[in-house]
Chains A and B, each alone.
Chain A
Protein backbone atom coordinates (compact mmCIF):
# COMPACT_ATOMS: atom_id res chain seq x y z
CA UNK A 1 0.00 0.00 0.00
CA UNK A 2 1.50 3.27 -1.13
CA UNK A 3 1.68 5.84 1.66
CA UNK A 4 2.26 9.52 2.15
CA UNK A 5 3.08 10.66 5.66
CA UNK A 6 2.96 14.07 7.27
CA UNK A 7 3.24 15.25 10.84
CA UNK A 8 -0.28 16.25 11.80
CA UNK A 9 0.95 19.15 13.97
CA UNK A 10 -0.13 21.68 14.86
CA UNK A 11 3.03 23.45 13.82
CA UNK A 12 3.23 26.86 15.43
CA UNK A 13 5.43 29.50 13.80
CA UNK A 14 5.79 33.19 14.70
CA UNK A 15 4.74 35.74 12.12
CA UNK A 16 7.56 36.66 9.77
CA UNK A 17 9.49 33.43 10.32
CA UNK A 18 9.97 30.54 7.90
CA UNK A 19 7.47 27.68 8.16
CA UNK A 20 8.82 24.29 7.08
CA UNK A 21 6.40 21.49 6.25
CA UNK A 22 7.60 17.99 5.48
CA UNK A 23 6.19 14.98 3.69
CA UNK A 24 7.62 11.51 3.08
CA UNK A 25 6.35 8.96 0.59
CA UNK A 26 6.83 5.23 0.25
CA UNK A 27 6.84 4.70 -3.54
CA UNK A 28 10.34 5.30 -4.86
CA UNK A 29 8.95 5.49 -8.39
CA UNK A 30 6.69 8.49 -7.70
CA UNK A 31 7.18 11.29 -10.20
CA UNK A 32 4.70 14.04 -9.34
CA UNK A 33 4.22 15.86 -6.07
CA UNK A 34 1.73 18.47 -4.99
CA UNK A 35 1.08 20.75 -2.04
CA UNK A 36 -2.47 21.85 -1.30
CA UNK A 37 -3.65 24.36 1.28
CA UNK A 38 -6.98 23.86 3.04
CA UNK A 39 -8.48 26.54 5.24
CA UNK A 40 -10.85 25.37 7.94
CA UNK A 41 -14.23 24.55 6.43
CA UNK A 42 -13.00 25.12 2.88
CA UNK A 43 -11.85 22.95 0.02
CA UNK A 44 -8.21 22.12 -0.77
CA UNK A 45 -6.52 24.43 -3.27
CA UNK A 46 -3.35 23.66 -5.19
CA UNK A 47 -0.44 25.92 -4.29
CA UNK A 48 2.63 24.13 -5.64
CA UNK A 49 3.59 21.22 -7.84
CA UNK A 50 7.08 19.78 -8.27
CA UNK A 51 8.38 17.05 -10.53
CA UNK A 52 12.20 17.30 -10.44
CA UNK A 53 14.77 17.08 -7.68
CA UNK A 54 15.71 20.40 -6.18
CA UNK A 55 13.86 23.58 -5.34
CA UNK A 56 10.96 25.30 -7.01
CA UNK A 57 10.05 28.81 -5.92
CA UNK A 58 6.77 30.68 -6.30
CA UNK A 59 6.57 33.92 -4.38
CA UNK A 60 6.93 33.20 -0.67
CA UNK A 61 6.58 29.45 -1.28
CA UNK A 62 9.40 27.03 -2.07
CA UNK A 63 8.87 23.34 -2.72
CA UNK A 64 11.84 21.05 -2.27
CA UNK A 65 12.06 17.53 -3.64
CA UNK A 66 14.61 14.84 -2.77
CA UNK A 67 13.73 11.62 -4.56
CA UNK A 68 16.70 9.70 -3.14
CA UNK A 69 15.46 10.33 0.39
CA UNK A 70 11.80 10.21 -0.66
CA UNK A 71 10.72 13.45 0.87
CA UNK A 72 9.16 16.64 -0.32
CA UNK A 73 8.93 19.80 1.71
CA UNK A 74 7.25 23.17 1.54
CA UNK A 75 8.86 26.31 2.90
CA UNK A 76 6.84 29.45 3.52
CA UNK A 77 8.94 32.57 3.97
CA UNK A 78 7.77 35.65 5.85
CA UNK A 79 4.85 33.67 7.32
CA UNK A 80 1.59 35.57 7.68
CA UNK A 81 -1.43 34.80 9.87
CA UNK A 82 -3.33 34.20 6.62
CA UNK A 83 -1.04 31.22 5.99
CA UNK A 84 -2.65 29.43 8.94
CA UNK A 85 -4.28 26.37 7.39
CA UNK A 86 -3.83 22.65 6.92
CA UNK A 87 -1.28 21.77 4.25
CA UNK A 88 -1.85 18.54 2.36
CA UNK A 89 0.88 16.69 0.49
CA UNK A 90 -0.20 14.56 -2.49
CA UNK A 91 1.83 12.17 -4.64
CA UNK A 92 0.96 10.43 -7.90
CA UNK A 93 -0.43 6.97 -7.25
CA UNK A 94 -0.04 3.76 -9.21
CA UNK A 95 -2.78 4.48 -11.65
CA UNK A 96 -3.26 7.52 -13.79
CA UNK A 97 -5.64 10.19 -12.49
CA UNK A 98 -5.02 9.17 -8.89
CA UNK A 99 -3.13 11.01 -6.18
CA UNK A 100 -2.20 9.52 -2.80
CA UNK A 101 -2.82 12.01 0.01
CA UNK A 102 -1.16 12.66 3.31
CA UNK A 103 -3.35 13.48 6.29
CA UNK A 104 -2.10 17.07 6.35
CA UNK A 105 -0.14 19.31 8.73
CA UNK A 106 -1.98 22.04 10.56
CA UNK A 107 0.04 25.25 10.50
CA UNK A 108 -0.62 28.10 12.92
CA UNK A 109 1.09 31.45 12.38
CA UNK A 110 1.14 33.46 15.60
CA UNK A 111 1.01 37.27 15.29
Chain B
Protein backbone atom coordinates (compact mmCIF):
# COMPACT_ATOMS: atom_id res chain seq x y z
CA UNK B 1 0.00 0.00 0.00
CA UNK B 2 1.26 3.44 -0.91
CA UNK B 3 1.94 5.49 2.22
CA UNK B 4 1.67 8.97 0.68
CA UNK B 5 -0.06 9.09 -2.68
CA UNK B 6 -0.54 12.11 -4.86
CA UNK B 7 -2.30 12.57 -8.15
CA UNK B 8 -1.75 13.25 -10.91
CA UNK B 9 1.85 12.18 -11.45
CA UNK B 10 2.20 14.38 -14.52
CA UNK B 11 0.32 17.54 -15.36
CA UNK B 12 0.80 19.54 -18.54
CA UNK B 13 -1.36 22.61 -18.88
CA UNK B 14 -1.51 26.01 -20.53
CA UNK B 15 -0.78 29.31 -18.90
CA UNK B 16 -3.77 30.84 -17.21
CA UNK B 17 -5.46 27.56 -16.40
CA UNK B 18 -6.48 26.43 -12.91
CA UNK B 19 -5.41 23.00 -11.68
CA UNK B 20 -5.46 20.89 -8.53
CA UNK B 21 -3.15 18.26 -7.09
CA UNK B 22 -4.46 15.81 -4.55
CA UNK B 23 -2.61 14.07 -1.73
CA UNK B 24 -3.59 11.36 0.70
CA UNK B 25 -1.63 9.56 3.39
CA UNK B 26 -2.54 6.33 5.16
CA UNK B 27 0.20 6.48 7.79
CA UNK B 28 -1.94 8.09 10.47
CA UNK B 29 0.38 11.09 10.52
CA UNK B 30 -0.79 14.34 12.04
CA UNK B 31 1.03 16.73 9.73
CA UNK B 32 1.10 17.14 5.96
CA UNK B 33 3.14 19.39 3.71
CA UNK B 34 3.48 20.72 0.21
CA UNK B 35 6.98 21.20 -1.16
CA UNK B 36 8.12 22.62 -4.48
CA UNK B 37 11.31 21.31 -6.08
CA UNK B 38 12.72 23.37 -8.90
CA UNK B 39 15.00 22.30 -11.72
CA UNK B 40 18.05 22.70 -9.49
CA UNK B 41 16.63 20.18 -7.03
CA UNK B 42 16.13 22.74 -4.29
CA UNK B 43 13.24 21.76 -2.02
CA UNK B 44 11.19 24.67 -0.74
CA UNK B 45 8.33 24.30 1.70
CA UNK B 46 5.07 25.95 0.72
CA UNK B 47 2.46 24.93 3.27
CA UNK B 48 1.96 22.66 6.22
CA UNK B 49 -1.16 21.48 8.01
CA UNK B 50 -1.37 19.83 11.40
CA UNK B 51 -4.70 18.14 12.08
CA UNK B 52 -6.36 20.29 9.41
CA UNK B 53 -4.92 23.51 10.81
CA UNK B 54 -2.57 25.63 8.69
CA UNK B 55 0.73 25.94 10.58
CA UNK B 56 3.23 26.91 7.88
CA UNK B 57 2.40 29.35 5.12
CA UNK B 58 5.56 30.43 3.41
CA UNK B 59 5.85 33.30 0.97
CA UNK B 60 3.91 31.79 -1.87
CA UNK B 61 1.75 33.63 -4.42
CA UNK B 62 -1.87 33.67 -3.32
CA UNK B 63 -2.69 31.83 -6.55
CA UNK B 64 -1.71 28.75 -4.54
CA UNK B 65 -4.33 27.63 -2.07
CA UNK B 66 -4.07 24.50 0.08
CA UNK B 67 -7.05 22.70 1.49
CA UNK B 68 -7.15 19.96 4.12
CA UNK B 69 -10.58 18.36 4.49
CA UNK B 70 -9.21 15.96 7.11
CA UNK B 71 -5.80 15.07 8.49
CA UNK B 72 -5.28 12.35 5.88
CA UNK B 73 -5.77 14.66 2.90
CA UNK B 74 -4.07 17.81 1.71
CA UNK B 75 -4.87 19.22 -1.70
CA UNK B 76 -3.24 22.06 -3.60
CA UNK B 77 -5.15 24.30 -5.97
CA UNK B 78 -3.34 26.64 -8.30
CA UNK B 79 -5.09 29.47 -10.12
CA UNK B 80 -3.92 31.30 -13.22
CA UNK B 81 -0.91 29.09 -13.83
CA UNK B 82 2.31 30.76 -14.95
CA UNK B 83 5.42 29.40 -16.70
CA UNK B 84 7.40 29.80 -13.49
CA UNK B 85 5.11 27.38 -11.70
CA UNK B 86 6.64 24.52 -13.67
CA UNK B 87 8.33 22.26 -11.11
CA UNK B 88 7.85 19.04 -9.23
CA UNK B 89 5.45 19.35 -6.32
CA UNK B 90 5.85 16.90 -3.46
CA UNK B 91 3.36 16.11 -0.78
CA UNK B 92 4.82 14.81 2.47
CA UNK B 93 3.65 13.79 5.90
CA UNK B 94 5.17 13.36 9.34
CA UNK B 95 4.11 12.15 12.74
CA UNK B 96 3.97 15.18 15.04
CA UNK B 97 7.22 17.08 14.74
CA UNK B 98 9.63 15.75 12.10
CA UNK B 99 12.69 16.96 13.98
CA UNK B 100 11.77 14.57 16.78
CA UNK B 101 10.16 11.69 14.94
CA UNK B 102 12.71 11.45 12.16
CA UNK B 103 11.73 13.35 9.11
CA UNK B 104 9.16 13.18 6.40
CA UNK B 105 7.59 10.57 4.18
CA UNK B 106 7.22 11.94 0.67
CA UNK B 107 4.76 11.17 -2.05
CA UNK B 108 6.02 10.31 -5.52
CA UNK B 109 5.65 13.87 -6.77
CA UNK B 110 3.63 15.69 -9.43
CA UNK B 111 5.60 17.06 -12.35
CA UNK B 112 3.80 20.20 -13.44
CA UNK B 113 4.65 21.69 -16.82
CA UNK B 114 3.05 24.96 -17.82
CA UNK B 115 3.24 25.75 -21.53
Q: Which A residues fall within an 8 A CB radius of B?
A: 31-32, 34, 36, 38, 42-46, 49, 86, 88, 90, 92, 95-99, 101, 103-104
User: Assuming the A-B contacts A43-B106, A43-B107, A49-B103, are A97 and B40 also in contact, with contact meaning beta carbons closer than 8 angstroms in the complex?
Assistant: no
Does B55 lie within 8 Å of A88, measured CB to CB?
no
- Additional 9 contacts, C-beta under 8 A, given A44-B106, A99-B104: A42-B108, A43-B90, A46-B102, A46-B104, A46-B105, A49-B103, A88-B43, A97-B97, A97-B98
Chain B residues near A86: list those with CB within 8 A. Answer: 41
Does A98 lie within 8 Å of B45, measured CB to CB?
yes
Least CB distance, A95 to chain B, in whole angstroms: 7
Least CB distance, A47 to chain B, in whole angstroms: 9
Is B66 part of the binding interface, using a Cβ–Cβ cutoff of 8 Å? no
Is B50 part of the binding interface, using a Cβ–Cβ cutoff of 8 Å? yes
Does A32 lie within 8 Å of B99, measured CB to CB?
yes
Is B48 part of the binding interface, using a Cβ–Cβ cutoff of 8 Å? yes
| Residue in chain A with minimal CB distance to B100 | A32
A75 to B109, CA, bound (A): 27
Cross-chain pairs A/B with CB under 8 angstroms, 14 sampled: A31-B99, A34-B103, A36-B103, A42-B108, A43-B90, A43-B106, A86-B41, A95-B55, A97-B48, A97-B50, A97-B94, A98-B48, A99-B45, A101-B43
Least CB distance, B60 to chain A, in whole angstroms: 14
Is B56 part of the binding interface, using a Cβ–Cβ cutoff of 8 Å? yes
A43 to B104, CA, bound (A): 11
Is B31 part of the binding interface, using a Cβ–Cβ cutoff of 8 Å? yes
User: Assuming the A-B contacts A97-B56, A104-B41, are A45 and B106 also in contact, with contact meaning beta carbons closer than 8 angstroms in the complex?
Assistant: yes
Chain A residues near B106: list those with CB within 8 A. Answer: 43-45
Chain B residues near A99: list those with CB within 8 A. Answer: 45, 98-99, 103-104
Least CB distance, B109 to chain A, in whole angstroms: 5
A44 to B44, CA, bound (A): 13
